[in-house]
């Protein structure tokens, strides 16, 4: 373990996890979410799309797929102890960075007032990164800092909607190539797997899948005295 690496020291009271598609959080941070929710943290999910292109079936109906995937996300969230899921229903695969969409993310940050925000690392050097993940992470970062904390940014939310500025303490970015913050999820691995099981439209929950996920989280924990970890890039605000 290098001196920059940190192991989770405190569990926030409130958290907002922002994903591009239903199942993003299950891969990226569901162990952490389960652990925090168990400890009393109020966690909410914000989904930018509802994954309406997440199929290899060319005859699939995107609206039906959206319905199925939102229900799967709700079920996964319930398993983890997440309080609510907000679905913005943008089109899967077509997320574009815009000031309007950033404003929508700012609105949710101002509404839920999370101490910690979790999302994709948009700067990771993964050349096969889903473009929606990159846009999602950049929106999360830019909404948290500085937009949500500045009263003249999206001022109508404050004047007309009764929201107030909010400064999150930190972001934890998953899918990163530069992890420096690790959460021990050994005690909640069963809940992480239960949340995966809630997405039958997306993967076959077989031994291969279980072994692949276990190996990934064992590798994250290699330098520590616990067995399974989730890894993040820590951004203090």
DSSP state of 40: T
> Pairing relation of β-strands 42-49 and 84-90?
parallel
Segment interacting with Zn ion, rule: CB under 5 A, options 16-24, 34-42, 150-158, 171-179: 16-24
User: Which C-beta is closer to Zn ion: that of 130 or that of 167?
Assistant: 130
DSSP state of 187: G
DSSP state of 175: S
User: Which C-beta is closer to Zn ion: that of 24 or that of 184?
Assistant: 24
User: Which C-beta is closer to Zn ion: that of 6 or that of 212?
Assistant: 212
User: What's the distance, CA 181 to chain centroid?
Assistant: 15
Cβ atoms of residues 32 and 125 within 8 Å: no
Shortest Cβ distance from residue 22 to Zn ion (Å)? 8
- The pair phi, psi for residue 138, each rounded to 5°, is -65, -40
User: Which C-beta is closer to Zn ion: that of 81 or that of 137?
Assistant: 137
Shortest Cβ distance from residue 171 to Zn ion (Å)? 18
Shortest Cβ distance from residue 52 to Zn ion (Å)? 12
Q: Is the peptide bond before 100 cis (omega within 30 degrees of 0)?
A: no
User: Which C-beta is closer to Zn ion: that of 136 or that of 147?
Assistant: 136
- Number of residues lying near Zn ion (CB under 5 A): 3
- Contacting residue, 8, 24, 72, 230, with Zn ion by CB under 5 A: 24
x/- track of binding to Zn ion for residues 175-204 (CB under 5 A): ------------------------------
- The pair phi, psi for residue 195, each rounded to 5°, is -70, -35
Shortest Cβ distance from residue 146 to Zn ion (Å)? 26
Segment interacting with Zn ion, rule: CB under 5 A, options 12-20, 80-88, 94-102, 159-167: 12-20
Tell me if 21 contacts Zn ion by CB under 5 A. yes
| Alpha helices per DSSP H over 91-206 | 99-112, 131-144, 155-159, 189-197
Shortest Cβ distance from residue 72 to Zn ion (Å)? 13
User: What is the torsional sign of CA 56, 61, 66, 71?
Assistant: negative
Considering only the C-alpha atoms of the chain, give the largest distance between any 2 of them, rounded to a whole number of Å. 53
User: What's the distance, CA 121 to chain centroid?
Assistant: 10
Shortest Cβ distance from residue 20 to Zn ion (Å)? 5
Shortest Cβ distance from residue 3 to Zn ion (Å)? 33
Residue 65, H or E segment? helix 62-80
List the one residue out of 178, 182, 151, 183 whose CA is nearest residue 164. Answer: 151
User: Which C-beta is closer to Zn ion: that of 21 or that of 69?
Assistant: 21
Segment interacting with Zn ion, rule: CB under 5 A, options 21-29, 84-92, 101-109, 147-155: 21-29
Chain residues binding Zn ion by CB under 5 A are 20-21, 24
């Amino acid at each position: 373990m290098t001196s920059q690496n940190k192991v989770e020291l405190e569990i926030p009271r409130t958290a907002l996890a922002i994903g591009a598609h239903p199942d993003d959080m299950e891969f990226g941070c569901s162990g952490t979410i389960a652990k925090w929710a168990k400890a009393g943290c109020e966690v909410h999910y914000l989904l930018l799309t509802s994954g309406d292109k997440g199929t290899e079936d060319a005859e699939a109906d995107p609206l039906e797929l959206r319905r199925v995937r939102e229900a799967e996300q709700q079920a996964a969230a319930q398993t983890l102890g997440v309080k609510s899921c907000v679905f913005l229903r943008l089109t899967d695969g077509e997320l574009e960075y815009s000031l309007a969409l950033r404003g929508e993310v700012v609105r949710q940050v101002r509404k839920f007032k999370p101490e910690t925000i979790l999302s994709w690392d948009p700067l990771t050097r993964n050349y096969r990164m889903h473009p929606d993940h990159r846009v999602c992470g950049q929106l999360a970062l830019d909404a948290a800092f500085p937009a949500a904390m500045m009263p003249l940014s999206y001022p109508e939310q404050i004047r007309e909607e009764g929201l107030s500025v909010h400064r999150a303490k930190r972001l934890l970015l998953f899918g990163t190539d530069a992890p420096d913050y690790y959460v021990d999820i050994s005690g909640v691995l069963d809940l992480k797997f239960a949340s995966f099981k809630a997405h039958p439209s997306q993967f076959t929950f077989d031994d291969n899948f279980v072994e692949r996920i276990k190996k990934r989280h064992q590798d994250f924990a290699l330098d520590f005295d616990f067995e399974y970890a989730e890894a993040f890039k820590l951004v203090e605000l």
